[in-house]
Amino acid sequence: MLKAMLIMLVAMSAIPAGDAASKILTSELGVAPTYVVWTRFLIGGLVILPFTWRAGLSVWRDWRVWFRAVLIALGISCITRALQLAPLADVFGAFFIGPLVSFLLSVWLLKERASAVQAVLVLLGFVGVLLIVRPGFEASAGLGWALLAGCLYGAFLTASRWLAGSVALGGLMITQMVGSVVLVTPFVFGQFPEFTPQIAKLTVISALGSMIGNVLMLFAYKMHEASKLAPFVYFQLISAVVLGWLIFGEWPDVWVITGMCMIVVAGCASAVLQSRRPIAPRT
């Protein structure tokens, strides 16, 4: 369990690190967000291609694979734009509406069961997101993009569960990478920056941060029950706060901190409930 926990902590630090690199590229170096999104999928796809290409050969005719790729391509495009405009920690806090959206869509579309306690926890998490975004008061365009990114990511998570029974994990990984590259390529022409060593380095960090984080998370889930490790996903929020302070000198206000705490409490409590749910016998 300890080894899996440590891997999860590293994974949940790698993802915000990649997004911090994206923020530097777009907000400080003037790189187009479309370029950042495109290279993120391209480099990540090239890295995992040797290990997953066979798994993806037979699934491209399934329209759901392309629909899922559209969701993640749009979601990453939105969060990259959000990172250009808003503080790192605030963006991550608003983005965590994703699990709440996924919960609602799974109950509605996939007919998954939900208890009254889970519904209350979802509401608590939503209130936490509202405290971060503060619509109508201090809301910014950046947080609007982050909120949209979270909604798209929630739909992406639901689509992943929808496909889980018919497409292998390797197939899901490679199709989302390659499919997103295909979808974003028409928009990247004319968006390439003048390359410097700094831009090249940050481009690689941006692409590999998210990919390494997600791959390590899968390794951790293979080592231990996913439901027991699920609360560690919220370590991303802590990492985002620390990285935002160290790199950009940003420190979230009391409303953002309060909202993050509510999201973490709701998410961890939901994970504990999930882990205690009795497992249905195999038939």
The token pair that represents 265 in the structure block: 């409490």
Per-domain residue ranges of the chain: 2-276
3-class secondary structure, 110: coil
Kindly report the pTM of this predicted structure. 0.89
Q: Which candidate, 70, 74, 95, 71, places its Cα nearest to that of 19?
A: 95
Helix segments in the chain, DSSP class H: 2-23, 33-56, 63-85, 88-95, 98-109, 116-133, 141-163, 169-188, 197-223, 226-229, 235-248, 254-276
CA distance 130 to 124: 10
Instruction: Write down the residue that tokens 């990172």 correspond to.
Output: 83
pLDDT digit string (tens) for the chain, length 283 residues: 678 889 989 999 999 999 999 999 999 999 999 999 999 999 999 999 998 888 767 788 889 999 999 999 999 999 999 999 999 999 999 999 988 898 888 888 888 787 888 888 888 989 999 888 876 545 578 899 999 999 999 999 899 888 877 888 888 888 999 999 999 999 999 999 999 999 999 999 999 998 999 888 878 877 776 667 777 888 999 999 999 999 999 999 899 999 999 998 988 888 777 666 543 333 3
Q: Which candidate, 266, 259, 268, places its Cα nearest to that of 129?
A: 259
The token pair that represents 4 in the structure block: 């899996």
Query: What phi and psi values does residue 252 have, to the nearest 5 degrees?
Result: -65, 150
